[in-house]
Amino acid sequence: MASTDGLLPSPEPEREAATRASALAVTALLNCLIREVARPDPASRRPDGAGGHPGRPGDYILPATGHVLRVGGDRYPAAPSLRTPDGWCPLELPELVALTAAELRAGTGARNDELLAEILHSRDVTAALLLARRAAVPPPDLYLRSEQALVAGHRYHPAPKARGGGSPESWLPYAPEVGASFALPLLGVPVEDLVEEGDAGALDLLGDSAGHGLALLPAHPWQITLLGGPPGVSPDGRPGDRPGHPLGDRPGDLVGGLRGGRLRQLGFTGATAVATASIRTVYLPEPDLFCKFSLDVRITNDVRRLWLHDLRRLTLVTALLDEVFDDLPGHLPRPAVLRDRGWRGARLGGDGGEALAVIVRDGLGGHLRPGLTALLAAGVSEGFPGNPLDALDEAAAFVWWDRYLEHVVPPVLHAYLRHGLVLESHLQNVLVAVDELGLPAQVLFRDAEGVKLVAERYPRLSAPVLGAGRAWERLVYCLLTNNLCEIAGAVAERHPRLRGELWARARAVFAAAAKDHGDPAELRDLLAATHIPAKANLLLRWLDADGGAMRWVPIPNPLRLFTA
């Protein structure tokens, strides 16, 4: 049943990239099927798998169609086979996609050909990334290396690397996975078209004074193209003697396709912007600044525009975050927060400033303690050259996990229980700073845009609030399911005998937090629960739900599963 589905015969590097990309796409889709749809076949004996999720390898029933899948693999599922009257038949990605579509159509009554195309597009994007990485030189900076490590993307999304259907030429110059760096175009915005809230003054330092009634606005070059600027950008993103640069080649040129020429091109930043894991967020090491842009591309569940309703609450959430750890119990290590200081945009028609919005975020320098190296938690989970987990024996790996828990778990629980704030503490929003031995010594949280408030604690606010029940589910998903399960999986992948000890220690940290906060019902219930919530990304995309929608499915609670 093997099929190349359009992947033509190619030289060996291309063939290797295509094979690896297909395997990663199969794993992502299997992760979703096993978590959200399939049921373990009671006739199959299944060992429990890494990270507290249902066991692999094993056999799984697709309930709506009755098909039975056999899945191999260890930490991540792989090599699926379909039970047929003639025995087990291996499935390649196109057959697995077709099987998934049949199951979801039968189970939901809906169809979604767009998602099926996204899955295959995601596979093709991954192949292009893998091929390009062969020629890319990893940055010497370990922090940037960790940000650029996520070749597989979100491990529990059916199309983690989809890039809006565009060709590699449209997105590869900005891809963190290949170490992309580029100068940012600088726009001159007439003051009457300017939108700004909070402190966005750091943007004014990225270029010469705009003058003449203009304000300075950096833009992401990919977004300029998406908004109608002509394509064509050099790999380093700098202007040159080529026609077709998104903003023209000479400072002062009118910007084609944007507000009828009211915006002016003022050149490019002298400082280089480095793509980070979130793609639309770049880091400028020289001024030590992060800039998060609108990007009109669907990546995983969302079109990554900075929506006005989120931007308007940014200063409120940032102010709350400034104080959230002031009353953290003294025996606990204090984290840092990379502040989203403010935002700036330019009105294009009636968009209120969304399309060209940019959030100004603190850099690392003012928060990272001396002698420490920040690493993206998602990169630690995924792996990269220099990952501290690779150098640890069993004893040191347990110490590493112990310190990670101490720095991550108590502050997240404190923010919720004491202040009614739900930090979006998933893997891409947590930086773990390690010392010279590679051990966690500080944690930095980022992305105020994703923070939610508990409605009962903030009754006068309409956004960004959630009822206490939904807020707690979101916290458990981000902290336990998305973050700790995957970090524990990475440690246990290297040291399988530690799995039970890892979760016993995690349970002790949650229990200690409960004691610090007067034994709240939420933590009592969590420690007693047989299951915890996981986000149903496959079902959400299949039903074309809004990106902010939540649909939960239960997975075994590792705080009980491995500690009972």
Q: Do residues 27 and 76 both lie within one domain?
A: yes
Q: Would you call 504 helix, strand, or coil by DSSP?
A: helix
Measured CA to CA, the distance from residue 267 to residue 290 in angstroms comes to 20
Q: Do residues 433 and 312 both lie within one domain?
A: no
Q: Do residues 212 and 224 both lie within one domain?
A: yes
Q: Examine residue 245 and state whether it is found in any structural domain, yes or no.
A: no
* Residue 77 lies in domain: 12-125
Measured CA to CA, the distance from residue 388 to residue 371 in angstroms comes to 15
If one counts every other C-beta atom within 10 angstroms of the C-beta of residue 241, the result is 6
At residue 1, the pLDDT reads 38
> In one letter, which amino acid is 560?
R
Domain boundary (367, 383, 413) is at 367
Q: Do residues 477 and 430 both lie within one domain?
A: yes
Q: Examine residue 274 and state whether it is found in any structural domain, yes or no.
A: yes
At residue 10, the pLDDT reads 56
* Of residues 508, 475, 195, the one with CA closest to residue 347: 195
Q: What is the CATH number of the domain that holds 518?
A: 1.10.510.40
Q: Do residues 375 and 348 both lie within one domain?
A: no
At residue 234, the pLDDT reads 34
Q: Do residues 357 and 457 both lie within one domain?
A: no
**pTM for this one?**
0.92
Residue 143 burial by Cβ neighbours in a 10 Å radius (0-12, 13-18, 19+): buried
Q: Examine residue 80 and state whether it is found in any structural domain, yes or no.
A: yes
Q: Do residues 277 and 385 both lie within one domain?
A: no
At residue 564, the pLDDT reads 60
Q: Do residues 383 and 359 both lie within one domain?
A: no
Measured CA to CA, the distance from residue 435 to residue 487 in angstroms comes to 18
Q: Examine residue 268 and state whether it is found in any structural domain, yes or no.
A: yes
At residue 258, the pLDDT reads 64
Q: Do residues 375 and 338 both lie within one domain?
A: no
Domain boundary (329, 348, 367) is at 367
Domain boundary (92, 125, 158) is at 125
Domain count, the chain: 3
Distances (CA, A) of 49 to 58, 134, 329, 382, 505: 10, 32, 36, 17, 19
Q: Examine residue 547 and state whether it is found in any structural domain, yes or no.
A: no
* Of residues 41, 95, 42, the one with CA closest to residue 70: 41
Measured CA to CA, the distance from residue 409 to residue 405 in angstroms comes to 5
* String of DSSP letters for 331-398: TSPP-EE--EEEEEEE--TTSTT-TT-EEEEE-STTTSPTT-EEEEHHHHHH--TT-GGGG--HHHHH
Q: Do residues 331 and 398 both lie within one domain?
A: no
Q: Would you call 288 helix, strand, or coil by DSSP?
A: coil
Q: Examine residue 461 and state whether it is found in any structural domain, yes or no.
A: yes
Q: Do residues 316 and 446 both lie within one domain?
A: no
Q: Examine residue 137 and state whether it is found in any structural domain, yes or no.
A: no
Q: Do residues 203 and 281 both lie within one domain?
A: yes
Q: Examine residue 392 and state whether it is found in any structural domain, yes or no.
A: yes
Per residue of the chain (564 residues), what is the pLDDT tens digit? 333 444 444 589 999 999 999 999 999 999 999 999 999 998 875 444 433 344 457 999 999 999 999 999 999 999 999 999 999 999 999 999 999 999 999 999 999 999 999 999 999 999 999 999 999 988 999 999 999 999 999 999 999 999 998 899 999 999 999 999 999 999 999 999 999 999 999 999 999 887 888 999 999 999 999 988 644 333 333 433 333 344 544 444 445 546 567 888 888 999 999 999 999 999 999 999 999 999 999 999 999 999 999 999 999 999 999 999 999 999 999 999 999 999 999 998 888 999 999 999 999 999 999 999 999 999 999 999 999 999 999 999 999 999 999 999 999 999 999 999 999 999 999 999 999 999 999 999 999 999 999 999 999 988 899 999 999 999 999 999 999 999 999 999 999 999 999 999 999 999 999 999 999 999 999 999 999 999 999 999 999 887 667 789 999 999 998 766
Residue 560 corresponds to which tokens in the numbers above?
């009980």
Residue 224 burial by Cβ neighbours in a 10 Å radius (0-12, 13-18, 19+): buried
